[in-house]
Amino acid sequence: MDKILFSQEVPVMDKVDVLVVGGGPAGIAASVAAARAGMSTRLVDNNGYLGGMATAGLVGPFMTSFSPDGSRQIVKGIFDELLLRMIDHGGAIHPSQCKPGTSYSSYIGRGHGNVSPFNSEAFKVDAEALCLNAGVKLLYHVFFVKALVSEDGDSITGAVFATKAGLQVIQAKIFIDCTGDGDLAASAGVVMKQGRDEDGLTQPATLFFRISGIDKQKLERHRLEHPEPDAKQFNTEVEYARSQGDFPIEREKLGMYESCDGTWRVNTTRIIHLDATDPAAVTAAEIEGRKQIQTVMSFLHKYIPGAENACLIESASVLGVRESRRIIGEYVLTAEDILSSRKFEDSIGLYGFPIDIHQPDGKSGVFMQFKEPYSIPYRILLPKQRGKNLLVAGRCVSATHDALGSVRIMPACFVTGQAAGTAAALALQEGISPKQLAYKKLEKKLLKNGALLTW
């Protein structure tokens, strides 16, 4: 690519204590926690609403917020607050009411109990209310493009955004990267990693879509009459359609999750070998995703009893990216930590969803379960090098490709987000960097605010 030099004066549109970039599950929790702790906090997103994958990506349900054995809820705090608020408004179903193997979990049993189906519009409204009530200043339609860094390169001094009003800068004392792709961290010079160690390949992407018009009784009668092994949902129909040339997608099964409003989310399209940080590749993937949706709709009509009259409501407005960049942090969470239900001394929360890896070649998947929750260490939010005044939460935390298969799931993103916002506020109150913060102080504040840290 040719290069040109471009320099200009850029107006400073705001100065805040904490700037959170990215308004998905992690960014919502981070900004609410920081604002509630008295920090002037701004949350910015390139969409015109909050939610990230949960709204723009049409991803759902919230996978489990319970322990792996389903005995009790282990993700509380801001996640639970938003969930209960949505339930109150008829926009979600409580995880205690969602048994494994039901329509809410696409009829998958293992690892898929205690999910929370929700309506994306309810998410937008209730997340916004949660933020505004906490005093978070929202700004939509701004795209982060560049981190301004101090002379020694260690700290971020400002974030440049592309807006309708031209380039603008927001300055902050602490920055929290909740972009999913680690855009801010990467631009600030933090060491990043992408994909598997051996070849850099990432999990495939999926363009979600929503449908209505399913005859659930007929569908479930068909399932009873043609039982399949667990987690092989509709594999027989998919393979038969493939043999007829009607399912050219690199996926073994149909993921079809009933929501709380009688519509269904379909998680079946598959785009492999994508670099989600390359806009041209993402554009091509979205075009391909919409093409695949037409294929899946025809498949539903022809091969799935009960779906003959399925109607496409909408495709997601952004591609569902399971994996892209993540930081190399003070600690790198591993699959062994998760599978051994490790208890960290700097726990910021618990999680219990299995490691779910859709293989980069698209064909197969790995699903690794464990018996007890694992704890999430604070150090995975802290860049190892540079980014002295930066915290990272959500999908771009410091974890291996395998470990990300669990910690990237939405309830866990709320956990890391809440901890990042809380740590930012505590560090600012003491005039220190997030790395210097004594864990005991963070622990005390998180516990006070409803987080569950030990099992």
Ligand X SMILES: Cc1cc2nc3c(=O)[nH]c(=O)nc-3n(C[C@H](O)[C@H](O)[C@H](O)COP(=O)(O)OP(=O)(O)OC[C@H]3O[C@@H](n4cnc5c(N)ncnc54)[C@H](O)[C@@H]3O)c2cc1C
The DSSP annotation for 236-261 comes to HHHHHHHHTT---SS-SS--EEE-TT
Site string for ligand X, 309-348 (x = CB under 6 A): -----------xxx--------------------------
Query: Contacting ligand X (CB under 6 A), which of 19, 26, 160, 453?
Result: 26
Smallest distance from ligand X to CB 406, Å:
10
Smallest distance from ligand X to CB 82, Å:
13
Tell me if 21 contacts ligand X by CB under 6 A: yes
Tell me if 421 contacts ligand X by CB under 6 A: no
Nearest CB to ligand X, comparing residues 245 and 279 = 279
Tell me if 264 contacts ligand X by CB under 6 A: no
**Cis peptide bond N-terminal to 68, omega within 30:** no
Distances (CA, A) of 373 to 13, 117, 357, 379: 43, 22, 18, 18
Closest CA to 374 of 275, 292, 452: 452
Smallest distance from ligand X to CB 247, Å:
18
Tell me if 349 contacts ligand X by CB under 6 A: no
Tokens of 167: 């380039």
Smallest distance from ligand X to CB 419, Å:
13
Task: For CA atoms 400, 404, 405, 407, give the dihedral sign.
Answer: positive
Smallest distance from ligand X to CB 83, Å:
12
The DSSP annotation for 166-197 comes to EEEEEEEEEEEE-SSS-HHHHHTT--EEES-T
Distances (CA, A) of 365 to 33, 227, 279, 304, 336: 35, 21, 26, 23, 18
- Answer yes or no: are the C-beta atoms of 139 and 131 closer than 8 Å: no
Question: Hey, which residues between 267 and 296 contact ligand X (CB under 6 A)?
Answer: 267
Smallest distance from ligand X to CB 218, Å:
25
Smallest distance from ligand X to CB 430, Å:
27
Tell me if 53 contacts ligand X by CB under 6 A: yes
Question: Hey, which residues between 58 and 117 contact ligand X (CB under 6 A)?
Answer: 59-63
Q: Could you tell me how many residues of this chain bind ligand X (CB under 6 A)?
A: 37
Tell me if 27 contacts ligand X by CB under 6 A: yes
Nearest CB to ligand X, comparing residues 279 and 431 = 279
Query: Contacting ligand X (CB under 6 A), which of 31, 33, 45, 114?
Result: 45
CB neighbours of 46 closer than 8 A, spacing ≥ 6? 140, 141, 142, 143, 144
Long-range CB contacts (< 8 A, 24+ apart) of 226-233? 230/101, 230/108, 230/109, 230/110, 231/108, 231/109, 231/110, 231/367, 233/106, 233/107, 233/108
Nearest CB to ligand X, comparing residues 52 and 377 = 52
Query: Contacting ligand X (CB under 6 A), which of 18, 20, 52, 194?
Result: 52
Query: Contacting ligand X (CB under 6 A), which of 271, 380, 409, 424?
Result: 409
Q: How far apart are CA 404 and CA 181, in angstroms?
A: 13
Smallest distance from ligand X to CB 382, Å:
16
Decide: residue 232, CB within 10 A, 0-12 exposed, 13-18 middle, 19+ buried.
middle
Closest CA to 143 of 163, 159, 170: 163
Tell me if 439 contacts ligand X by CB under 6 A: no
Nearest CB to ligand X, comparing residues 83 and 446 = 83
Question: Hey, which residues between 153 and 182 contact ligand X (CB under 6 A)?
Answer: 178-181
Tell me the HSE value of 6 on the side-chain side, using a 13 A CA sphere.
6
Interface segment toward ligand X; rule CB under 6 A; list 20-28, 191-199, 419-427, 445-453: 20-28
Which residues of the shown chain bind ligand X in the complex (CB under 6 A)? Answer: 21-27, 44-47, 52-54, 59-63, 143-144, 178-181, 183, 206, 267, 320-322, 394-395, 408-410, 413
